[in-house]
Amino acid sequence: MKPSMTLEIESRLILQAETAADMMTANPVSVREDATLKEALVLLIDKGFSAAPVIDNAGRPVGVLSRSDLLIHDRESAHFLQVAPEFYHKEELKTEKGEALGRGFQVEKVDRTRVSDVMTPAIFTVAPDSTAAKVVHDLLSLKVHRLFVVDENGVLVGVISTFDVLRHLRP
């Protein structure tokens, strides 16, 4: 028989927030839908984010780009060797200012895939005046890690992650 351990909780945790606006991170960092994957990857890594909202030109959320989306894209992208090697004439290899490149330079094959081609196009939103109880309910029932807070025009004004909810719990 395995020994069992009992954990006694002396007090209940209380959510110290009334609305989505109380819990949200305002003006979240977002990615443009026409950004390249490399730009988005740099943003996610430099900021330490696991995901970011994707917005259109009007600032409305149109999807989510996560590190998982980037990994899936990389796994599913086939990279084939060139049938014939690519050659460049020496006069073509200059900087934007016309300076010759030194020894040891490399030519990068640029992935021109756009964020809109890889993002998860589903978004879940709440209004700033949504109750904290609705926010928690939506996170649990939708089984998502974040909700986007949009104003009456559908413009992104905040994001609520599960960590934001945990930060507002008090004994």
| 92 secondary structure, DSSP code | G
Quickly count: other Cβ atoms within 10 Å of residue 58's Cβ: 10
Place of tokens 């994707």: 54
pLDDT in tens, 85-97: 566 666 666 777 8
pLDDT over 70 at 3, yes or no: no
pLDDT in tens, 73-122: 988 887 665 555 566 666 666 777 877 776 766 666 777 899 999 999 99
Q: What is the pLDDT of residue 12?
A: 85
Fold that domain 14-79+114-170 belongs to in CATH: CBS-domain (3.10.580)
**pTM recorded for the entire structure:** 0.74
pLDDT in tens, 135-165: 999 999 999 999 999 999 999 999 999 999 9
Q: Where are the domains of the chain?
A: 14-79+114-170
Phi and psi at residue 117, to the nearest 5°: -80, -20
